[in-house]
Amino acid sequence: MGSLRAFIYLGVCVCAGILTAADENTKAGNVHWTSLDFKTMLIWTTKSPQQTYSVKFRQGENGNSEPHNECFKVPGTECDMTHELAASDRSYIADVETDHDEEGDYDYSHEEFEHTESKPFNPYKESNISAVEFTVEALNASTIIVNVTDTLTSVHRGTKQLNIRDVFRKDLQYKISYHKSGNSRKRDHISDGSVALVPQLDAGQSYCFMVAAFIPSRPQSSQLGAWSQQLCEQTHPEGTNEMSVGHLVGIIFIVLLAIIIIITVTCVCCKKNQQRNKPLQTAQSSALV
Ligand SMILES: *[C@@H]1O[C@H](CO)[C@@H](O)[C@H](O)[C@H]1NC(C)=O
Ligand SMILES: *[C@@H]1O[C@H](CO)[C@@H](O)[C@H](O)[C@H]1NC(C)=O
Ligand SMILES: *[C@@H]1O[C@H](CO)[C@@H](O)[C@H](O)[C@H]1NC(C)=O
């Protein structure tokens, strides 16, 4: 009887040992977030490739935990959280649970080994912003216009795909870094809007520009988006500042008017001269006869 008890006891110990070992192999490891332009993925690692996982998430430390409908008993080690998280200033915590086939045999006392929680993640504060597209155009001898296209995000409102201006509104600025061609000294210009006038440039000089989204309300480490490619543009030469299209049209008009007047006056004079010469010619020819 005693030996049977010892045998059962040993068996339980071995089983528990196997379960614990299994936990360590099937438990999701290194659960972390990656996010670019509000496309947000939850990523983890596993030592058992066959294992499936289910993801739950909640808003803040004490929010109600909700299951992720698509990431339910999925193989693989990632879950797209883009549509689960609001692009407003809130933190989320996700929990990756290891699935078990034999529900009946499952020892619930080991439950704490069977899931791994993420760190809190706030997409509004932490989602990376990719490099923006922009154009440059000289306005006059001292000003160049930088026109930035607000990058599209993965956030939708109804059928509309929101861009970073729709999401961040007044919180979004652009940092424009520029330098004169052949001069490495860089200057910064911060713009509230997506169209920026960069002033106080030298006339007839080439300048090169790079732009990045800039969100000063964020923590320092995530304030700046990726830098764009570089574009260069030349300011207008000195003295052409007042040469607007209106002025140009005016000058052409005056020149044309002058030409017309000269032609008209010349013609009128010619005709008068001819008429004055005619009777004279007649008189001369009759005298000859
Ligand atoms: C944002 O980009 C940095 C640099 O590439 C990276 O270290 C960080 O993990 C990224 N953050 C997210 C939330 O993807
Ligand atoms: C900026 O570019 C957009 C198209 O990308 C254009 O519609 C808009 O007129 C431009 N604005 C300026 C001030 O050049
Ligand atoms: C160029 O245009 C800007 C913006 O309209 C204006 O403030 C600036 O005085 C102009 N500069 C010159 C030299 O005309």
From atom 11 of ligand 3, which residue's Cα is the shortest distance away? 142
For residues 28 and 79, what is the distance between their CA atoms, to the nearest angstrom? 12
Nearest atom in ligand 1 to the alpha carbon of residue 36 is 14
- Whether 147 is in the pocket of ligand 2, judged by its Cβ within 6 Å, is yes
- Whether 30 is in the pocket of ligand 2, judged by its Cβ within 6 Å, is no
- Whether 222 is in the pocket of ligand 1, judged by its Cβ within 6 Å, is no
CB 227 within 8 A of CB 131: yes
Percent helix, strand and coil across the chain, each rounded to 5?
A: 30, 30, 35
Give the pLDDT score at 253: 77
- Whether 143 is in the pocket of ligand 3, judged by its Cβ within 6 Å, is yes
Question: pLDDT 10s digit of each residue in the chain, 289 long?
Answer: 555 565 545 444 444 444 445 567 889 999 999 999 999 999 999 998 889 999 999 999 899 999 999 999 999 999 999 999 999 999 999 999 999 865 555 555 555 558 999 999 999 999 999 999 999 999 999 999 999 999 999 999 999 999 999 999 999 999 999 999 999 999 999 999 999 999 999 999 999 999 999 999 999 999 999 999 999 999 999 875 455 666 677 777 788 888 888 888 887 777 777 766 655 555 555 555 4
Residue 46's CB is within 10 A of a number of other CB atoms, namely 20
Give the pLDDT score at 10: 46
For residues 58 and 75, what is the distance between their CA atoms, to the nearest angstrom? 22
Give the pLDDT score at 279: 55
- Whether 134 is in the pocket of ligand 1, judged by its Cβ within 6 Å, is no
Give the pLDDT score at 276: 64
For residues 54 and 50, what is the distance between their CA atoms, to the nearest angstrom? 14
CA of 33 to the centre of ligand 1 (A): 9
CA of 35 to the centre of ligand 2 (A): 29
Give the pLDDT score at 146: 98
- Whether 151 is in the pocket of ligand 3, judged by its Cβ within 6 Å, is no
CA of 143 to the centre of ligand 3 (A): 6
The ligand whose atoms approach the alpha carbon of 39 most closely is: 1
Give the pLDDT score at 33: 98
CB 226 within 8 A of CB 129: yes
Give the pLDDT score at 274: 73
- Whether 254 is in the pocket of ligand 2, judged by its Cβ within 6 Å, is no
- What is residue 78's three-state secondary structure? strand
From atom 13 of ligand 2, which residue's Cα is the shortest distance away? 195
Nearest CA to 55 out of 24, 25, 76 is that of 76
- Whether 139 is in the pocket of ligand 3, judged by its Cβ within 6 Å, is yes
CA of 35 to the centre of ligand 1 (A): 7
Give the pLDDT score at 116: 94
Query: What pTM was computed for the model?
Result: 0.75
Give the pLDDT score at 86: 92
CA of 284 to the centre of ligand 3 (A): 71
Sign of the dihedral through C-alpha 255, 260, 264, 267: positive
At 218-277, the pLDDT tens digits run 999 999 999 999 999 999 998 754 556 666 777 777 888 888 888 888 877 777 777 666
Give the pLDDT score at 23: 63
Nearest atom in ligand 2 to the alpha carbon of residue 147 is 1
